Structures are given as C-alpha cells and as structure tokens.
Amino acid sequence: YHPLVPSICESYCNILLRYICLFLLYRDIIKTTALFTARRGRSFLQTLATKEARNFEFDFLRPTSSLFGLFNTLVEQYSKVL
C-alpha cells in the first residue's frame, strides 16, 4: 500500500468522468445538429456554421475536425430515414 495510490486513482477517475460527460454532451450536440441539418437542408448548416464559428462546441462543423466525418454520416443516415 502506497499513500499516493488513492489520490492518483481518485484524480484519474475524476478526469475520466469529465471526459465521459464531455463526450456525451458532444454526442448529443452532433446528433441533434445532424437531425436538424437533414430536416432543413444545407442552407441551415451554412447559417449555423457561420453563427457558431467561434463556439468550440460546434467545431465538428469544420471540415478539418476529426468529428466532421461522423457528422456527415449522421446527416446522410437521417436524410434517408426522413
């Protein structure tokens, strides 16, 4: 038993929980935005991207984002269903 182990585990768990919560938030934002884009069209997407250009929560709207492909796939899937 080492006295630092509990504090290291506790801080690691706190960081992990923050990332999980952040991922869930991003997932919901991406899915909801994809659904609205599928319903309202690409003009909605262009307007939203311009309006939210400085909002980090909408970074996935940029083609350079690692989540941009996921977003586009969701838009395509929602468009097929709607």
Q: Tens digits of per-residue pLDDT, 41-71?
A: 999 999 999 999 999 999 999 999 989 999 9
| Secondary structure of residue 54 in the 3-state scheme | coil
DSSP 62: S
Q: Tokens for 48?
A: 């939203």
Q: Tokens for 1?
A: 């038993």
- According to the model, what pLDDT value does residue 14 have? 78
> Is 29:56 a contact under the CB 8 Å cutoff?
no
Using the predicted structure, report yes or no on whether residue 5 has a pLDDT greater than 80: no
Using the predicted structure, report yes or no on whether residue 7 has a pLDDT greater than 70: no
> Is 71:60 a contact under the CB 8 Å cutoff?
yes
**What pLDDT band is residue 27 in, cutting at 50, 70 and 90?**
very high
Would the pTM of this model clear 0.85, i.e. be above it?
Answer: no
